[in-house]
Amino acid sequence: MAASAVVTRKWYDGKKLFVQVTVTLSGSYVQGGDTLSLSGLGIPSSQAPFGWDFQSASGTAAQALNTYTYVPGTTQANGKIRCFIGAVAELAAGAYPAAATGDNIQGSFQFEFNR
């Protein structure tokens, strides 16, 4: 069970903070979602995100695009990423398939900005 994020870009539009990340999956998936901690990434907000979006960027003609969604937690440390391989059904519990570990998962989050 391991989902990790690396910040690729951050910006503030005067009202909210936008954070773009690249997500990497490894190990095993837990039904209902794998924990994706955003804490420790230098995000200048003490709040959990209020908006998010994920894109699967590794699809080829032979591989359907995967779908990912975020389930917010009570803090930045305990949200979850849910995986839908081939965009049809949620991934079953067990080792991540190559379609997930080899995916280029791009995510964006929106946060309240703490000054």
pLDDT averaged per 10 residues in sequence order, the chain, 115 residues: 90 94 94 94 92 83 77 95 84 89 93 80
Burial of 111 (0-12, 13-18, 19+ CB in 10 A): buried
Sheet hosting strand 16-26, strand order edge to edge: 2-12, 16-26, 105-112, 51-56
Rounded-to-10 torsion of CA 67, 80, 77, 39: -10
Tell me the CATH architecture of domain 2-112. Answer: Sandwich (2.60)
Domain ranges for the chain: 2-112
Q: Where are the alpha helices (DSSP H) in 1-115?
A: 98-101
Paired strand residues for 24: 4
pLDDT for res 100: 87
pLDDT for res 37: 95
